[in-house]
Amino acid sequence: MPSTYARLLTAACAFATTASAVTPITVNGKDFVNSETKDRFQIIGIDYQPGGSSGFTKKKDPLTDKDACLRDAALMQRLGINTIRIYNLEPSLNHDECASIFNAAGIYMILDVNSPLTGGYLDRTDPVSTYNPTYFEQVYGVIEAFKNFPNTLAFFAGNEVINEQSSYEVPAYVRAIQRDMKDYIAKNAKRSIPVGYSAADVRKILPDTLNYFSCELENSTSSRADFFGLNSYSWCGNSSYKISGYNVLTKDFSDASLPVFFSEYGCNEVTPRYFTEVEALYSEEMSQAFSGGLVYEYTQEDNNYGLVQVNDNNTATLLVDYDNLQTQYNKLDMSAIQSSNKTQTSKKPTKCSADLITDSSFLNSFDLPARPSKVQQMIDNGLPNANTGKLVSVSSTSISQKIYNHEGQEVTGVKLNVLKDGESNTPSETGTSTSPSPSTSTSGSSESSGSSRSSGTSSASGTSGTSATSSIGSPSSSGSTSASATPFTGAAGKQSTSLLFGLLSGTAAFAAVML
């Protein structure tokens, strides 16, 4: 029989695992809301695909390196974000430690279900042959891997699949994938997890894309998107609400019946980036149409969109864009951002009909493809031999790597702050101090220039990689693949504290003391 000591220690550790769990987010009308408090949840986030195209293989993806995740979660927490987006994941790998680290940091995850590898995506030029059971092993594998984490905010069924190169019937296939994902979640997960689509900012068909995915289809209610993401780079440098076209976007999405957010933003045609669009995005006027956004991107890749440079010598450098974005986040009025609005939450979808579609090049039929029988079996019985993820304890909060600012000075005291039960991360003035060190070099700093979103992104079904030729405000497409196939990373290829928070906190700490 276990000793009292052992039982108390087990209970304390179990509590420590769950005590830092965030509260799941749900959809209410056109808002994301905290499922317990009902406060509005605005996405203050960043796109996360370390290594670009080389950062994903069958043997590694962004959420398999525990040490890297701990470092990045601590730096993201210091930055003030509450959400990350990951583009490519390998469902056979173990993601438990990384997902649990981000959960402990109060950071939610929005996950793309597609893979750039063969059979892992819907080909925008040939959706008929690629909508098959092999593809859904990837899709359902990602769902299984992340369905049990409370910080799994949502899944993307596709990224920029619909553009000028896609076949006419592609919208129906993407909507069918949403249906198949939502039906799987309803049958095989303990809670509802939102599913939606990430669109390129192709203004010609943007209203039609929104209408196609957001309308209510009587014979297939589960095919409706729960949210709508937009990859937009129209605000460059010190632009303005009108010059950038944000006023037009606000008008276009003001009557949306579901949450809309920027799934990628952060033009780099002018460097350094000052992110003056942050103030506009979270303003009272624009927040009536948008639920925040995700800055592209966390790590510095060849396309020069990064906030953090990961160096070969096991150090990391916070680039000037990191500081600039943090400055903008720290100006936000979080109480206003989180306040709920009955007008927002009472929005109801329009019934699907052909007259919702205005552009002749966009599909106006809502006849969805039939679900393959083997896919139905997966829904009914669950994915065979699924690698189902689970929340685990976070045993370390100190990072092993040295961190430098963009001037080469060491940044001290960077640790993961394990938040209390139900808390999520928010911008803060704390932890911004740096201490100059005589022995510090600037070897980690990167000041490269360039504006092409090319870090390996491709523009297939559920991927990223925009077709910049057809996207308003997108950086140039040099380097990004727009072949009919492979999806990859995103858009462009497109504080610290000196206190150490252990796992045993709150009641768990009391149990430890009682030992």
Q: What is the pLDDT of residue 55?
A: 82
The reply to whether omega before 423 is within 30° of 0 (cis) is no
In a structure prediction context, what are the per-residue pLDDT tens digits for the chain, which is 515 residues long? 444 444 444 444 444 443 458 999 999 999 999 999 999 999 999 999 999 877 899 999 999 999 999 999 999 999 999 999 999 999 999 999 999 999 999 999 999 999 999 999 999 999 999 999 999 999 999 999 999 999 999 999 999 999 988 999 999 999 999 999 999 999 999 999 999 999 999 999 999 999 999 999 998 999 999 999 999 999 999 999 999 999 999 999 999 999 999 999 999 999 999 999 999 999 999 999 999 999 999 999 999 999 999 999 989 999 999 999 999 999 999 998 888 676 677 789 999 999 999 999 999 999 999 999 999 999 999 999 999 999 999 988 999 999 999 999 999 999 999 999 999 999 985 443 333 333 333 333 333 333 334 333 333 444 443 333 333 434 333 333 333 333 444 444 443 333 333 333 333 333 332 32
pLDDT value at residue 344: 74
Active-site hit among 90, 137, 144, 264? 264
Residue 407 catalytic? no
**The two three-digit tokens of residue 420, written as one number:** 């209390």
pLDDT recorded at residue 507: 36
Tell how strand 31-34 and strand 40-41 pair up: antiparallel
Q: Answer yes or no: is 421 within a domain.
A: no
Residue 442 lies in a domain: no
Residue 14 within any structural domain of the chain: no
106 in Cβ contact with 77 (< 8 Å): yes
Q: Tell me which of 97, 160, 277, 410 is the catalytic residue.
A: 160
Contact status, residue 371 vs residue 136, Cβ threshold 8 Å: no
Give the three-class secondary structure for 390.
coil
**Helix 170-188 vs helix 373-381: crossing angle, to nearest 10:** 30
Asked if residue 290 belongs to a domain, the reply is: yes
* C-alpha to C-alpha distance for 245 and 260, rounded to whole angstroms: 16
Question: Nearest-CA neighbor of 149 among 120, 117, 108, 178?
Answer: 108
- Residue 339, pLDDT score: 83
Residue 215 within any structural domain of the chain: yes
pTM of the entire structure? Answer: 0.84
Tokens for 191, please give them: 């809670």
Distance in angstroms (rounded) separating the CA atoms of residues 123 and 170: 9
The 10 Å CB-count burial string (b at 16+, else e) for 90-111 is bbebebbbbbbbbbbbbbbbbb
How many Å apart are CA 224 and CA 73, to the nearest integer? 33
Say what the pLDDT of residue 342 is.
66
Q: Does residue 493 form part of some domain?
A: no
Residue 89 one-letter amino acid: L
Q: Total structural domains in the chain?
A: 1
Which pLDDT score, from 0 to 100, does residue 343 have? 67
Strand boundaries in 390-442, DSSP class E: 402-404, 410-411
How far out from the chain centre does Cα 399 lie?
23
Helix H or strand E segment including 345 = helix 342-345
Active site residue 264: yes
Judge whether 296 and 267 are in contact, CB under 8 Å.
Answer: no
> Dihedrals φ, ψ of 336, to 5°?
-70, -40
Please count the CA atoms within 13 angstroms of the CA of 495 that sit on its side-chain side.
16
State the SS3 of 234-265.
Answer: CCCCCCCCCCCCHHHHHHHHCCCCCCEEEEEE
The residues pairing with 84 across neighbouring beta strands, listed in sequence order, are 46, 109
The pLDDT, as a whole number, for residue 429 is 52
Residue 480 lies in a domain: no
Pinpoint the alpha helices (H) of 33-158: 66-79, 96-104, 127-130, 133-146
CATH code, domain with 141? 3.20.20.80
Give the containing element (helix H, strand E) for 315: strand 315-318
Range of the domain at 45: 25-404
- The amino acid that residue 470 corresponds to is S
Element (H, E) at 33: strand 31-34
> Has residue 464 been placed in a domain?
no
- Alpha carbon 465 to its chain's center: 15
